[in-house]
Amino acid sequence: MMGTQSFKIAAVIVSLLVLLIIVPYCNSFVVLLATRAMVFAILAMSLDILLGFTGLASLGQAAYFGVGAYLTAILANNYGFGLKWDFWLMIPIGLAVGGALAAFFGLFAIRATGTYFLMITLALGQCVWGLAYRWNSMTGGDNGLTMKGGRPQFGIDLSNDINFFYLTFGFFAATLLALYVLTRSPFGKSLLGIRERELRMRILGYNVWLHKYVAFIIAGAFGGLSGVLWAHANGIVTPETVVLTTSVDALLMTVLGGAGTLVGGAIGSAIVFGLREYVSTLVPWWQYVLGGVYVLTILYLPTGLMGIPGRISQWRSSQKKRETTKMAPAPS
């Protein structure tokens, strides 16, 4: 078990180093695609705190993503805030706003379980989408908001896609590390216990509601952070940012890569963005191809792509047991 875990950690580190070295030498399209995929990876990892570690499937993650993105665009366009050194203030602001909205939504959502929790998060997310779509004077309505001031300039030219890629990579790596430490902490272990045996955790004296509520806030906070980065990566924020499809994409990315692994969300994001851009140039019905990938993954790899090493290990163990059984002498 420890060997498998160490292998996974080493594989993640090597993959990140390869990404950091190779992508800057690619063309601008690939650099921008990788940047956007990393932003969505942060969103998927934030959702994984709920889905993979707490056992709560949410369809409202786009709300925090959208609020972070819209707030970034509004402050930048109306007040010029966040376009120079004050960009670094937008990071805690994005975390705080996403967390605050999640704290409010959580008061309603955490009281429910299962399908009811899913539907409440969906309804709350749709409320934010409706606000973004109808509040024309603030959000620009259907046209959205273009980042008029461009990307921040504070000694580093972030209008250069490679520089912005490095910045996004830094936030992605920091988020991965922070959430990894969180999930390995006593609090993270408690979340796993709640996911597996909620009643038993209640009997042992754990405040299950509070643990779920805090996890919900943490997921919202990092969702807000991803929204701040998305506004600068995409250059425009529209109601499509807050639409249900965004939440569904984050959910599918997490499941595709492997819920409860964190890095699985990053893998799922890379696959979804890669397939979406590549397959869409080959066939007009590329959505069906993506749908087929999702269905096959759920049917044959329920633990996601990160579960493949574990399944291979199980297969090898079963093969060894069979060989041992065959070689054992028959009873006289």
- For the chain, where are the alpha helices, taking DSSP H only? 2-22, 28-51, 61-79, 87-109, 114-134, 136-139, 161-184, 186-196, 198-203, 208-234, 244-257, 263-279, 286-300, 308-327
For the segment 47-71, the average pLDDT, to the nearest whole number, is: 94
Q: Is 237 left (phi over 0), alpha (psi -120 to 50) or beta?
A: beta
Q: Kindly list the domain boundaries of the chain, sorted by start residue.
A: 27-317
Per-residue pLDDT, 28:
87
Per-residue pLDDT, 217:
97
Over residues 238-260, the pLDDT tens digits come to: 998 899 889 999 999 999 888 88
Over residues 124-159, the pLDDT tens digits come to: 999 999 999 989 889 998 889 999 888 988 888 888
* Share of residues in the chain with pLDDT > 90 (%): 55
Q: Looking at the predicted structure, is the pLDDT value of residue 234 above 70?
A: yes
Instruction: Kindly report the backbone phi and psi dihedral angles of residue 197, in degrees, each rounded to the nearest multiple of 5, phi listed first.
Output: -140, 75
Contact 214, 99 (CB under 8 A): no
Please give the mean pLDDT across all residues of the chain: 88
> Where residue 18 falls among pLDDT bands split at 50, 70, 90?
confident
> Where residue 304 falls among pLDDT bands split at 50, 70, 90?
confident
Q: Which residue has the higher pLDDT, 23 or 181?
A: 181
> Where residue 330 falls among pLDDT bands split at 50, 70, 90?
low
Q: Looking at the predicted structure, is the pLDDT value of residue 215 above 80?
A: yes
Per-residue pLDDT, 329:
60
Per-residue pLDDT, 325:
67
For the segment 218-239, the average pLDDT, to the nearest whole number, is: 95
Least confident of 17-21, 30-34, 68-72, 325-329: 325-329
